[in-house]
Amino acid sequence: MSATGLGASVKRKEDIRFITGKGHYVDDINRPGQAYAYFHRSPHAHATINSIDVSEALASPGVVAVYTGDDIAADKVGGLICGWMIHSKDGSPMKAGAHPVLAQGKVRYVGDHVAVVIADTLAEARDAAEKIVVDYGVLPAVPDPAKAVGAATVHDAAPDNAVYNWHLGDKAATDAAFASAAHVTKLDLVNNRLIPNPMEPRAAVGDYDSGTDTITLYTTSQNPHVARLVLSAFIGLAPEHKFRVIAPDVGGGFGSKIFIYAEETVCAWAARKIDRPVKWTSDRTEAFLADAHGRDHVTHAEIALDANGKVTGVRAHTIANMGAYLSTFASSVPTYLYAPLLSGQYNIPAIYAEVDAVYTTTAPVDAYRGAGRPEATFVIERLMELAARETGRDPAEFRRQNFVTQFPHQTPVIMAYDVGDYATALDKALEHADYKGVAARKAASAAKGKLRGVGFSAFIEACGIAPSAAVGSLGAGVGLWESAEVRVNPIGTVEILTGSHSHGQSHETTFAQLVSDRLGISIDNISIVHGDTDKVQMGMGTYGSRSGAVGMSAISKALDKIEAKAKKVAGHVLEAAEGDIEFKDGKFTVKGTDKAIDFASVALQAYIAHKFNGQELEPGLKESAFWDPTNFTFPAGVHICEVEIDPDTGVVTVERYTAVDDFGKLINPMVVHGQVHGGIAQGLGQALMEGAKYDDDGQLVTASYMDYCMPRADNLPSFKVDTIETPCPSNPLGIKGCGEAGAIASPPAVINAITDALGHEDIAMPATPAAVWRAARKRVTRQAAE
């Protein structure tokens, strides 16, 4: 392994601009003559719009234009779309209400977009927005997904607020497993609603060139080509060849920047309308109100065991909150990203899941780090832990007994696990966590009047999303390949143009490591270009831990073509048959001779084209590739959380957190560990602190950092992170993906630890000090009663 090749913890190339304040985020971009957009948002969760009076706003100083839903409709701008069709179990297609860019006739959540003011300065736009007068006819709010059926109708297209009633698995076989079970464990679970909160709020600058009739949209996107596709083909702002989308440095996404939102659409549309650049930057309150939220499941789940402790069946019924509109990929999250993972790491013969997706008067809910897989992991890992406790089994050994050990393994819920070694990860995690010392540490805590508990989470996820035909058969409206182009310059430097997008993932370093490794050139001579539809040929973007397994595989495939072409050129230069040329460590040699030429010289020869017939061999050295995965990838691991609870205050301290993950081959362990740290922190946030709350009137009462508890440095411990490696067989690099693992694995590990400490299961996420204090009191009360 070279110092900068595959497997090396190379320091990041992109860091220099970020640590010196020279990054280029969207809000750092100003265009000449730019105007500013500010949105007038609904203060009501659910209301008809009887009238909108914008006259005073229009007369306000500096105002250029005020637009409402009527203006959007008059321009025949299409509505926002949901790109994944789900069919209910009766075969009917999901019932999707219209999702206008600016509200038409009705608002459906607090923060819904009613009008936009465009003015010379942001302050003038904000001042004018306050002068818009809307006559609302307030309707009953529907904030609670569990009570959505039978409540006020959010969309006429969806009676009873039911979007779909979907199912997966063999109900009869599963019911039979439960009928003959020796033990059944049952749980009611709420997967709490989260607000993603990347530190960079969303932003957009729409820019229109009337000379070429071209729109350029600078936007905080994880997938600029998908944004262009949707804005062109579905919303109809401009055809793709007249529409450039640029996503420069983007400050975190975690899913929330996948989606195509109203604000970015309005900036692109209005820029042409007023023939001036239009800029919008979300403030944090707007981000809380109108970024797509995550999770929000209410689930009843059961697990069946035989007398020997073998799991024989799992069944779950879930109510999934879609919010007020179906966001871009919302429908896929509680269905195909959720139920196929309910098998966990276990050999379970029968699984059946039912999911009722409902509309409510809350912000749209869509993919947030993990997307469906954390919800599935929470179900199966809470069930496994509780089943072990109820039957008097050690939770680690109970899991081990049920692990899948033979690969490939076909689960009863779609997925074919390709490779893994779950027992080794468990062993390593037990060792790192000093599991043998738990009893002594519990006793030491008890001696101080504290409660100590340990919780496990043996997670699996499906990522590397995904084989296009497979997801197409499940309802996806797009293919989920990735594209790459390798441009070798005449002096041997290389530009990689990738459809993946880095918003923290470190692609400028890790992708360069692959190229350096393959071509034997310095990573300083490689640049990674992403985030610009005019530069990169195509792309599906970054989410679902796919940039390594899918994005880098596309680069690898293009590099194969570069190597093949370069060998032909080298053959001509070295006057040898192409078949006799070997390429290693950046050098082309003729087999059995000392004749050699380095990569840069071959590049130059490819462009000079003096040594070969340009009719027989094309000059130049540039290749592109599309990589369509052959399977999902299956990262898995074992996380162990150890907490100490102060029963007098309810404060939970995470004393130890151990993660042993199998991500297949690692490109850059430093970066992989960083991804795991961040994921764990978000999962600990979900388990202990974070929770979006709407009141009965549908007002979001957690709409600032004063009210929504983000994990701070002093809430978290340092983490013990390690890996094992079973190379993924379905891509050329053997990598599985690491971006979401921490967020998927950690919530059940934490809650299992807390319930272990409390001695009962009655605690919901987030396990805030107030909730834990109440739960700890209950324990004391129960003990006294006993």
Q: How far apart are CA 551 and CA 556, in angstroms?
A: 9
Q: Indicate which single residue of 7, 18, 183, 240 sits in contact with other proteins (rule: CB under 8 A).
A: 18
From candidates 22, 89, 242, 777, binder to other proteins by CB under 8 A: 22
Residue 127 binds other proteins, judged by CB under 8 A: no
Closest CA to 258 of 15, 80, 68, 507: 80
Nearer to other proteins, 199 or 785 (CB): 199
**Collapsed DSSP state (helix, strand, coil) of residue 439:** helix
Q: Which residues of 213-231 are buried (b: 16+ CB within 10 A; e: fewer)?
A: ebbbbbbbbbbbbbbbbbb
Judged by CB under 8 A, how many residues of this single chain contact other proteins?
59
Residue among 401, 399, 407, 335 nearest 367 (CA): 335
Provide, rounded to whole angstroms, the least separation between the CB of residue 675 and other proteins. Answer: 8
**One of 432, 677, 693, 779 touching other proteins (CB under 8 A):** 677
Instruction: Measure the CA angle with vertex 405, ends 399 and 411; round to 5°.
Output: 85
Specify the residue, 200 or 532, whose C-beta has the smaller distance to other proteins.
200
x-marked contacts with other proteins along 737-756 as a string, rule CB under 8 A? -----x--------------
C-alpha–C-alpha distance, residues 442 and 445, integer Å: 5
Who's near 52: CB < 8 A, 6+ residues apart? 68, 114, 115, 132, 133, 134, 135
> Among candidates 274, 282, 123, which has minimal Cα distance to 207?
274
User: Taking the CB of residue 353, how many other CB atoms lie within 10 A of it?
Assistant: 26
Say if residues 503 and 664 touch (Cβ distance below 8 Å). no
Question: What is the nearest approach in angstroms of other proteins to the Cβ of residue 716?
Answer: 6
Decide if 80 contacts 260 (C-beta within 8 A): yes
Q: How far apart are CA 624 and CA 565, in angstroms?
A: 12
Which CB sits closer to other proteins, 16 or 233? 16
Nearer to other proteins, 287 or 645 (CB): 287
Which residue reads 């990203």 in tokens? 337
Nearest approach, Cβ of residue 29 and other proteins (Å): 9
Spatial CB neighbours of 130, under 8 Å, sequence gap ≥ 6: none
By the rule CB under 8 A, 644 interacts with other proteins: no
| Residue 531 interacts with other proteins (CB under 8 A): yes or no | no
Distance of closest approach, residue 220 Cβ to other proteins, in angstroms: 10
The answer to whether the Cα torsion of 558, 559, 564, 566 is positive or negative is positive
Q: Indicate the residue among 404 and 552 with the shorter CB distance to other proteins.
A: 552
Instruction: With contacts defined by CB under 8 A, name the span among 166-174, 226-234, 498-506, 619-627 that binds other proteins.
Output: 498-506
| Per-residue DSSP letter, 412 | S
- Least CB distance from residue 674 to other proteins, whole Å? 5
Nearer of residues 620 and 711 to other proteins, judged by Cβ? 711
Give residues 499-528 in contact with other proteins (rule: CB under 8 A): 503-506
Stretch that binds other proteins, among 110-118, 226-234, 383-391, 497-505 (CB under 8 A): 497-505
Least distance in angstroms from the C-beta of 746 to other proteins: 10
Tokens of 647: 């029963």
The footprint of other proteins on residues 234-253 (CB under 8 A) is 249-252
197 is an interface residue for other proteins by CB under 8 A: yes
Q: Which of residues 582-611 bind other proteins (CB under 8 A)?
A: none
SS3 of residue 293 by DSSP: strand
Copy the structure tokens of residue 288. Answer: 């809380």
- Within residues 255-294, the interface with other proteins by CB under 8 A covers 281, 283-285
Among 674, 732, 759, 769, interactor with other proteins by CB under 8 A:
674
Q: Does 716 bind other proteins (CB under 8 A)?
A: yes
Per CB under 8 A, 714 contacts other proteins: yes
Q: Which stretch binds other proteins (CB under 8 A): 51-59, 84-92, 454-462, 708-716?
A: 708-716
Nearest-angstrom CA–CA distance, 342 and 396: 18
530 contacts other proteins (rule: CB under 8 A): no
Near other proteins by CB under 8 A: residue from 2, 5, 7, 14: 14
Sheet holding 35-41, edge to edge: 63-68, 113-119, 35-41, 278-281, 203-209, 214-219, 243-246
- Of residues 37, 379, 581, 671, which one binds other proteins by CB under 8 A? 671
First to last CA, the chain: 62
Quick one: which of 20, 406, 615, 783 contacts other proteins (CB under 8 A)? 20
Tokens 């000090």, residue located: 769
Q: Which of residues 717-736 bind other proteins (CB under 8 A)?
A: 718-719
In whole angstroms, the minimum distance from the beta carbon of 501 to other proteins comes to 11
Asked if 16 is part of the footprint of other proteins (rule: CB under 8 A), the reply reads yes
Q: Which residues, including other chains, have CB under 8 Å from residue 128's CB and lie 6 or more apart?
A: 38, 57, 58, 60, 61, 62, 63, 66, 117, 119
Q: With contacts defined by CB under 8 A, name the span among 44-52, 191-199, 466-474, 523-531 that binds other proteins.
A: 191-199
Indicate the residue among 216 and 682 with the shorter CB distance to other proteins.
682
Q: Is 123 in the site for other proteins (CB under 8 A)?
A: yes
Rank residues 154 and 287 by Cβ distance to other proteins and give the closer one. Answer: 287
Using the minimum distance from each CB to other proteins, give the nearer residue, 477 or 717.
717
Structure tokens, 73: 């409709």
> 3-class secondary structure for 444-468?
HHHHCCCEEEEEEEEEECCECCCCH
Q: Give yes or no for a cis peptide into 711 (omega within 30° of 0).
A: no
Tell me the β-bridge partners of 652. 645
> Which amino acid, one-letter code, is at 507?
H
Tell me which of 349, 679, 691, 747 binds other proteins, using CB under 8 A: 679
- Do the Cβ atoms of 295 and 375 come closer than 8 Å? yes
The one among 35, 117, 357, 681 contacting other proteins by CB under 8 A: 681
Give the interface with other proteins as residue ranges (CB under 8 A). 11-12, 14-25, 27-28, 30, 123, 197-201, 249-252, 254, 281, 283-285, 503-506, 670-671, 673-675, 677-682, 704-706, 710-714, 716, 718-719, 742
